[in-house]
Structure 1
Amino acid sequence: MTVFEVEGAISFAISMLLIVIKAFCFVSSLMYSAEAYSAADKLTKPAWCAILGLGLAAQLLLMSSPLNIIHLAFTIAALVYLFDVRPALAELTRRR
């Protein structure tokens, strides 16, 4: 295997992982009510759904390097949702 094949395989694996993460975040954002977003003092549900949906679409349509600036921006947004917004929403819905 050449260095370029290894680099391509790693890039492909990272791209697939990012697709899974972004798809999970997008589907998760659809599961919570709009009121939960307001109660958690986060962006609105339509805003998060749009951000995460566009990130997933960009990842699927622009199968370029995962280090592309567009992919990085949407990956950061997905990670913010995953580690900040989703736990806050889950905590609010568990209490009820």
Structure 2
Amino acid sequence: MSEIKVPRLAESISEAVLVQWLQPDGATVAMDQPIATLETDKAAVELAAPGPGVLKHARAVGETVHVDDVIGRIEAGSGAMPATPPAPPTPAAAPVPAAPVTA
């Protein structure tokens, strides 16, 4: 499991507001996929998933969060991208009846 923490956005900024989850709670996400938007008094910043897995929200939209606060988690293992299902078998060609032999 990987924790999603609020990064240090700038030297003078110690808090931000979680303005949007870009992926719903329980969504399967890929590494580096944008998952949330934080907003400071100076800028809006997108956070990316630290790895593939299932996203679990730990904080609600509108909450003020501080540097190093855990806002969510990525549960690995169950969140690995699903394998591509096998292709359906190709139907065998139907046998063609032999034409009657005439003498």
- Relative to total residues, which structure has the larger helix share, 1 or 2? 1
- Relative to total residues, which structure has the larger strand share, 1 or 2? 2
Higher Rg = 2
Q: TM-score, normalised by structure 1?
A: 0.30
Q: TM-score, normalised by structure 2?
A: 0.29
Higher relative contact order (CA 8 A, sep 6+): 1
